[in-house]
Structure 1
Amino acid sequence: MKIAMVDDHNLLRKGLANLINTFEGFDVIFEATNGKDFIEQLAINPIPDIVLLDINMPVMNGYETADWIRKNLPETKTLVLSMLESDLAIIRMLNLGAKGFIIKDSHPDQFRSALVQLRDLGFCMNEDLSGRLPDKSLTDSPGTWSTPIPSFSEKELTFMRLSCSELTYREIAAEMGIGHRAVDSQRDSLFQKLNVSNRVGLVLYAIKNGIIMV
């Protein structure tokens, strides 16, 4: 698998590139310091299978770069590597077409596993960020859940769709015309119903089951 690295931290980028090149079946073909540099380097390099992408970068950040990749390189998979762990940052990247997210201080074995999952299954996610999903379902294809998909009320579907946006829970409450305690109750009920532990897990469930389209 051909990999391009896009990160403005030179020491980290070089170290990770050396690590990746020790993994069988993966090869870093070029490195870039930001999205603009990445696009320019495509003129002289092959199209990568995977782009390892930071979020906070000068000139052209990770959000802008992920959006460009989604529109211009539909076969290329984006794996986000960042210190950002907020739900909204992850959700925004998923909505921009990212297929995986792993934090920078992950163990090398986790990093290799993420690349293998991305190659073989098309999706991966740091377990600490995504929460517990039933039967490792975040890497399943749509419609292949080993447990039956429950039925949802219209209010639950609305809440799930809004949760997949960048709205805060307070803004979701205003959009639905209910109080934030009611939103908390709706959230906790869905977490229990879907056996997930956080908002990212809920969003991944909605994406994998076609409740929202990205």
Structure 2
Amino acid sequence: MKKKIALVDDHVMLRNGLAALLEDCGYEILFQASNGKELIEKLNEKALPQLVLMDINMPRMDGFETALWLKKNHPQVCVLALSMLDDEASIIRMLRAGAGGYILKDSDPDELQKAIEAVLQKGFYHSELVSGKLIRAINNLDEHDAFAETLSVKLSEKETEFLRWACTDLSYKEIAEKMGISPRTVDNYRDTLQEKLACKGRIGLAMWAIKNGIVTV
């Protein structure tokens, strides 16, 4: 049975091209939509798509809002973000909203298919953009995985506060101002937590905080 996909993007030519590509790969395009509002209008409760392939920048209802709506109303529907945005803030926000993967629009067709299959089968995709190590750390809680050991790590109040700020789009300098500490101290928190939690980079810290309930959407 063909896997059912819904495409959400306000660029019609790109969307049609994606539809043709995915149909050639053996997927069924259940429907197309130009934004989140149109997606919601076209959803059929009795025949939901297995995966929504979605842009972020869209009119009326963008990818962030749409992914969050799907997470709350249809958590069984997988979401894969396909965007031109490659900044940390967009990636973190989209993953917080419930996307299982995030790839760029200039990715090769082979990577797109690989991402779709990974999200459908495992719930997440190990991309180069969002390090596979980080995604594995927040999703694959196998008892033998090194990340499992971090679940019992005790954090200080300041470390917890820093993790909450790390999940925002503030710069490290702005985080220092919010916390009333020096930028050097913020750097120390960042480096210490990356080592303590076995995470790499700000995305890794933010996703660990989300996975472990330090922040909620």
- TM tier, smaller: 0.7 to 0.9
CA distance in 2, matches of 1:211, 1:164: 10
Partner residue of 1:146?
A: 145
The answer as to whether partners of 2:35 and 2:61 remain within 8 angstroms in 1 is: yes
Q: CA deviation at 1:71?
A: 2.3
1:182 corresponds, among 185, 193, 199, to 185
Q: Please tell me the residue identity of whatever aligns with 1:29.
A: L
Partner residue of 2:167?
A: 164
**3-state DSSP of counterpart to 2:170:** coil
Q: Please tell me the residue identity of whatever aligns with 2:70.
A: I
> Which consecutive unaligned segments of at least 5 residues does structure 1 have?
none
Q: CA deviation at 1:4?
A: 0.4
TM-score, L = length of structure 2:
0.83
Q: Please tell me the residue identity of whatever aligns with 1:49.
A: Q
1:23 corresponds, among 25, 29, 36, to 25
The answer as to whether partners of 2:9 and 2:34 remain within 8 angstroms in 1 is: yes
Mean CA deviation greater in 36-45 or 57-66: 36-45
Mean CA deviation greater in 8-17 or 153-162: 153-162
The answer as to whether partners of 1:161 and 1:212 remain within 8 angstroms in 2 is: yes
Q: CA deviation at 1:152?
A: 4.4
The answer as to whether partners of 1:142 and 1:209 remain within 8 angstroms in 2 is: no
CA 1:22–1:176 in 2, change beyond 3 Å: closer, same or farther? same
CA distance in 1, matches of 2:110, 2:75: 28
Q: CA deviation at 1:127?
A: 2.0
Q: Please tell me the residue identity of whatever aligns with 2:140.
A: S
**3-state DSSP of counterpart to 1:158:** helix
CA 1:153–1:71 in 2, change beyond 3 Å: closer, same or farther? closer
Mean CA deviation greater in 118-127 or 192-201: 192-201
**3-state DSSP of counterpart to 1:21:** helix
CA distance in 2, matches of 1:114, 1:19: 14
Partner residue of 1:3?
A: 5
Q: CA deviation at 1:43?
A: 4.9
Partner residue of 2:69?
A: 68
The answer as to whether partners of 2:96 and 2:210 remain within 8 angstroms in 1 is: no
Superposed CA deviations along residues 43-82 of structure 1, whole A, max 9, x for unmatched, are: 5983111111111112222122222212222211111110
Q: CA deviation at 1:32?
A: 0.6
> Which consecutive unaligned segments of at least 5 residues does structure 2 have?
none
**3-state DSSP of counterpart to 1:127:** coil
Partner residue of 2:120?
A: 119
Q: CA deviation at 1:116?
A: 1.4
Q: Please tell me the residue identity of whatever aligns with 1:137.
A: R
Q: What is the alpha-carbon root mean square deviation over aligned residues?
A: 2.6
CA distance in 2, matches of 1:23, 1:7: 19
CA distance in 2, matches of 1:127, 1:82: 14
**What percentage of aligned pairs have identical amino acids?**
44
CA distance in 1, matches of 2:215, 2:141: 12
